[in-house]
């Protein structure tokens, strides 16, 4: 078995410097020396003892992430972005798929705590009551992503959902629509409630009252959006535009419109929310409020690692803006796809 001393001799340095390279500190190592050490590790096939390393550092160099449903493209993209950032920092990410079940979510949390992960990132299925019981008494750093959980004292990473819903609806108003429906979502989730409030506020400011008559609730799936859009479009006075709370629902609405013969955007305009890559591959392209997933993932991991060194710090609450991606579904020019895009 290759030892650390052998790596040091091959690299022409000390064992301590090899340790600094492997542990990213505590002392800095020049780029040239780091390169020699990494080359020696590769040449000799050195594999450090992870258990011993964890015992010395009192860390496992693992983070846990629990998502509601990893088959949802939004959560899948978020998980990939978080994993990339964690990897940059030398951490392995463990992923738990709650399958929209709060009991399963809590089970993953307990499992990650039993495995002594250094920190947890959570996108909760609902309001997190069951999961908070699983976390009771734990000192493991926690960052809650994408939503807020009532009464939970933890760092949070979200977007300005209400502003996004407002801007999406305003954009449809600017296209001349006055019958703007909403494909709303689960009322217990803060992203859903806030995006819905943005829709209501924009219509109210435009003097359009009683917006509730043009909404249909569904889950955040394509099938849910399809069914909700069919319900609205088959009414005697259907909407001429739809704000879908997620891209998944928006894609479902495009299918419903095609089946019912409503041309998009000539007879039905659609704007959705999230900005998943799939939204650019529909025809017409789906206009959407894009969340800055890469920036949010980086901030989430940074906040979690900050809590490792400053466990008594005050919880931070980061709110990111969203940006309207104008495509053909709302009546804007549909930009062409380019080779390699998406």
Tens digit of each residue's pLDDT (9 = 90 or more) over 287-332 = 999 999 999 999 999 999 999 988 787 899 999 999 999 999 999 9
Q: Give the torsion sign (CA, 289, 293, 299, 303).
A: positive
Place of tokens 């991991």: 301
Confidence class for position 51, pLDDT limits 50, 70, 90? very low
> Which among 156, 157, 150, 116 is positioned nearest to 132, based on CA atoms?
150
Q: What is the structure's pLDDT at 170?
A: 98
CA distances 186 to 124, 125, 200, 270, Å, are: 13, 10, 16, 20
State percent of the chain over pLDDT 70: 93
pLDDT at residue 43, rounded to an integer = 86
Average pLDDT over residues 117-130: 90
- Mean pLDDT over residues 232-237, rounded? 95
pLDDT in the model for residue 339? 63
User: How far is Cα 288 from Cα 271, in angstroms, rounded to an integer?
Assistant: 5
CB 149 within 8 A of CB 128: yes
pLDDT of residue 211: 63
Tell me the mean pLDDT in the region 216-222.
Answer: 95
Q: Is residue 136 reached through a cis peptide bond, with omega within 30 degrees of 0 on the bond before it?
A: no
pLDDT tens-digit map of 10-26: 889 888 888 788 776 66
The DSSP result for 260-290, as a single string, is: HT--TTTT-EEEEEE--GGGGSSSSPPEEEE
The residue-averaged pLDDT of 164-171 equals: 98
- At 53, the pLDDT band (50, 70, 90 cuts) reads low
Contact by Cβ (8 Å): 285, 334: yes
Q: pLDDT (tens digit, 9 = 90+) per residue, 132-145?
A: 888 888 889 999 99
Q: Can you spell out the DSSP letters for 119-150?
A: EEEE--SSS-HHHHHHHTT--S-EEEESS--T
Q: Start-end ranges of CATH 1.10.260.40 in the chain?
A: 4-48
As a whole number, mean pLDDT of residues 260-285 equals 97
Q: How far apart are CA 315 and CA 318, in angstroms?
A: 10
Contact in structure between 182 and 243 (CB atoms under 8 Å): yes
Element (H, E) at 324: strand 323-325
Q: Is the per-residue pLDDT at 252 higher than 90? A: yes
Nearest partner of 154 among 253, 300, 332, judged by Cα: 300
Q: How many CB atoms lie within 10 A of CB 277?
A: 11
Q: Find out whether 289 and 246 touch, Cβ atoms under 8 Å.
A: no
Residues 6+ away with beta carbon under 8 Å from 178: 206, 208, 240
Q: Is the pLDDT of residue 341 over 90?
A: no
Q: Which of 39-48, 55-64, 147-156, 294-303 is most confident?
A: 294-303
Whether residue 52 has pLDDT greater than 60: no
pLDDT band at 55 (very low <50, low <70, confident <90, very high): very low
Name the superfamily (CATH) of residues 62-159+293-321: Response regulator (3.40.50.2300)
Name the segment(s) of the chain with CATH classification 3.40.50.2300.
62-159+293-321, 161-290+324-330
**Contact 131/105 with Cβ under 8 angstroms?**
yes
Q: Which helix (H) or strand (E) segment is 244 a member of?
A: strand 241-244
Q: Rounded distance, CA 94 to CA 112, Å? A: 8
pLDDT surpasses 80 at 56? no
Superfamily of domain 161-290+324-330: Response regulator (3.40.50.2300)
Its CATH class, for the domain covering 4-48, is mainly alpha
How much is the pLDDT for 338? 67
């Amino acid at each position: 078995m290759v030892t650390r001393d052998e790596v040091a001799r091959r690299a022409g340095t000390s064992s301590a410097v090899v340790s600094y390279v492997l542990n990213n500190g505590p002392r800095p190592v020049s780029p040239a020396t780091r390169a020699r050490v990494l080359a020696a590790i590769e040449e000799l096939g050195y594999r450090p003892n992870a258990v011993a390393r964890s015992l010395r550092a009192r860390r496992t160099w693992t983070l846990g992430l629990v998502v509601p449903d990893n088959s949802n493209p939004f959560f899948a993209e978020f998980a990939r972005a978080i994993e990339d950032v964690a990897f940059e920092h030398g951490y392995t990410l463990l992923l738990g798929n709650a399958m929209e079940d709060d009991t399963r979510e809590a089970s993953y949390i307990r499992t990650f705590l039993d495995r002594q992960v250094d920190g947890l990132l959570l996108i909760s299925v609902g309001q997190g009551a069951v999961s908070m019981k699983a976390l009771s008494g734990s000192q493991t750093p926690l960052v809650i992503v994408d939503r807020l959980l009532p009464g939970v004292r933890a760092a949070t990473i979200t977007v300005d959902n209400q502003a996004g819903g407002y801007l999406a609806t305003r954009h449809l108003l600017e296209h001349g629509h006055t019958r703007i429906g909403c494909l709303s979502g689960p009322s217990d989730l803060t992203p859903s409630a806030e995006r819905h409030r943005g829709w209501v506020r924009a219509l109210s400011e435009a003097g359009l009252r009683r917006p509730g008559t043009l909404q249909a609730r569904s889950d955040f799936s394509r099938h849910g959006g399809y069914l909700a859009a069919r319900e609205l479009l088959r009414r005697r006075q259907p909407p001429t535009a739809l704000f879908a709370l997620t891209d998944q629902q928006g894609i479902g609405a495009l299918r419903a419109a095609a089946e019912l013969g409503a041309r998009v955007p000539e007879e039905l305009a659609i704007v959705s929310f999230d900005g998943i890559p799939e939204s650019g591959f529909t025809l017409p392209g789906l206009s959407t409020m894009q969340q800055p997933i890469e920036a949010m993932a980086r901030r989430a991991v940074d906040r979690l690692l900050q809590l490792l060194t400053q466990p008594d710090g005050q919880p931070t609450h980061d709110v990111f803006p969203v940006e309207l991606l104008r495509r053909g579904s709302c009546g804007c020019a549909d930009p062409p796809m380019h080779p390699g895009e998406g």
